[in-house]
Amino acid sequence: MVSPRRIGRGSRATLLAVLLPVLMGGCVPRYGVSSARDEFLGTSEVRMHGDVLGNPDHGSEWIELNAVVRRRQGEPPAYALQVRYRDSDEWLRIPPGESLIVLADSQRIRLDGFGSRANRRTHFGLGVEEVASYAASADVLRSIARAERVRLRIIGSRDYVEREFTPENRARFRQFVDTQVDGKKVALPAADTAHASWLKRWWRWLRRTNPRSPPQRE
């Protein structure tokens, strides 16, 4: 039976949570939008990256939900949602099937994917990361972007994790859908401010779980 992810796994998890920013690329994930084009195949892709969800009060897991738009000449666009899961020591092992459930206000959206088996890796034996992608539609992305409250559950092989969009997450997702799905021209989000806000919440969680942590630098 699938059960909620355990919280507060002791000093080792806390220590590895401190090391995660170094092990996972040298810093806390920073939100951005990247694009790529293959002129030989006539394809292009635009994707969100680094959009860490909620706050780290749930434990040492970092969860990202990023939207992707892929285009090929002569064909309609293809849309996807990508989940990126990172933890200090425990795999989620996202299986194939309907392993992502999104609650956009009162609308329940179940998404089907191939799981994370082909996209799992360790970082120096101390941190783990897995990625799972889910086919979506423009209407699904719009439903998430327009919702006042967005919650999601990612189902693993033995347990699951849940997150909720913060105001920063909602603003980023809405801006991406407006520009990349609906073609609107809007002001760019204040990525640095949002990044600093997430980092402060991460520090607060770290200090609560490890009182001997060094004080936060403003």
**59-113 per-position pLDDT tens digit:** 678 899 999 999 999 999 999 999 999 998 899 999 999 999 999 999 999 999 9
Q: What percent of the chain has pLDDT over 90?
A: 61
More confident residue, 17 or 35: 35
Task: Provide the pLDDT for residue 199.
Answer: 56
Task: Provide the pLDDT for residue 9.
Answer: 46
The string of DSSP codes covering 39-53 is TTTTEEEEEEE--B-
b vs e for 63-94, b when ≥16 Cβ sit within 10 Å of the residue's Cβ? Answer: bbbbbbbebeeeeeebbbbbbbbbbbebbbbb
More confident residue, 192 or 35: 35
For residue 4, which of 155, 206, 128 has the smallest C-alpha distance?
155
Q: In sequence order, which residues have a C-beta less than 8 Å from that of residue 167 and are 6 or more positions away?
A: none
In this predicted structure, the answer to whether residue 36 has a pLDDT above a threshold of 90 is yes
Q: How far is CA 151 from CA 28, 73, 162, 163, 204, in A?
A: 22, 34, 7, 6, 22
pTM of the complete model: 0.75
Would you state the torsion angle of the CA atoms of residues 213, 168, 49, 46, taken in this order, to the nearest 10 degrees? -170
Task: Provide the pLDDT for residue 1.
Answer: 61
Task: Provide the pLDDT for residue 123.
Answer: 78
**Which band of pLDDT confidence, cut at 50, 70 and 90, is reported for residue 201?**
low
**Which band of pLDDT confidence, cut at 50, 70 and 90, is reported for residue 22?**
very low
Q: In this structure, are strands 62-72 and 43-49 parallel, antiparallel, or unpaired?
A: antiparallel
Asked if 194 and 162 touch (Cβ cutoff 8 Å), the reply is no
